[in-house]
């Protein structure tokens, strides 16, 4: 139950399982169920803001990765793969779509002419600058219900949980 005593959707599911299968310890189901539901809600909210910028979250992911790499805002396809959680085929498709839209370009790698680098174009840089501003404002909006201490504690716990997987 929440701090105000209200049951959320996951509480109802847990109550049903406790009634039907009292032999099961469903505590982890509550944690993972809430994380999954929260992820779904947050993804929808993030996607809505990015779509107003003309970007999908997957396109933003690539553009933001290139932007935060620093000037000259270019990475090899392999470096992009390391920084995202997608397959090489998916990354190639994303790069192709971003190139068609004029946000990125493939350039010869000056250190190895046999390979290419993916670089932000001026249009891509301007687009990601505007999008990241809107994204950060949205993130603050989405987390406004948490105090600074809540955010720090949640971040600490999520980092600990994530460490087992990464």
pTM given for the model: 0.85
Compute the radius of gyration of the chain from its Cα atoms: 21
Q: Per-residue pLDDT averaged across 92-99, rounded? A: 94
Q: pLDDT confidence of 50, banded at 50, 70, 90?
A: very high
Determine which of 1-5, 100-104, 149-153 has the lowest per-residue pLDDT on average.
1-5
Asked whether 127 and 53 are in contact (CB, 8 A), the reply is yes
pLDDT at 4: 64
Residue 66's pLDDT is what? Answer: 96
Structural domains for the chain: 9-163 (1.10.10.10)
Tokens (6 digits) for 107: 């350039």
Q: What is the pLDDT of residue 2?
A: 57
Name which of 133, 118, 140, 139 is nearest 53 in CA terms.
Answer: 133
The pLDDT value recorded for residue 111 is 83
């Amino acid at each position: 139950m929440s701090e105000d005593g209200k049951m959320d959707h996951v509480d109802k599911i847990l109550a049903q399982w406790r009634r039907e299968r009292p032999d099961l310890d469903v505590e982890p189901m509550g944690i993972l169920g809430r994380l999954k539901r929260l992820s779904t809600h947050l993804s929808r909210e993030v996607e809505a803001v990015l779509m107003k910028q003309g970007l999908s979250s997957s396109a933003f992911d690539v553009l933001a990765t290139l932007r935060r790499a620093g000037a000259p805002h270019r990475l090899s396809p392999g470096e992009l793969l390391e920084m995202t959680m997608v397959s090489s085929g998916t990354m190639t498709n994303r790069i192709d779509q971003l190139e068609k839209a004029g946000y990125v370009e493939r350039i010869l790698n000056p250190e190895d002419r046999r390979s290419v680098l993916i670089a932000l174009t001026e249009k891509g840089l301007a687009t990601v600058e505007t999008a990241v501003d809107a994204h950060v404002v949205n993130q603050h909006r989405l987390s406004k219900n948490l105090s600074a201490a809540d955010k720090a504690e949640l971040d600490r716990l999520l980092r600990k949980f994530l460490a087992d997987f990464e």
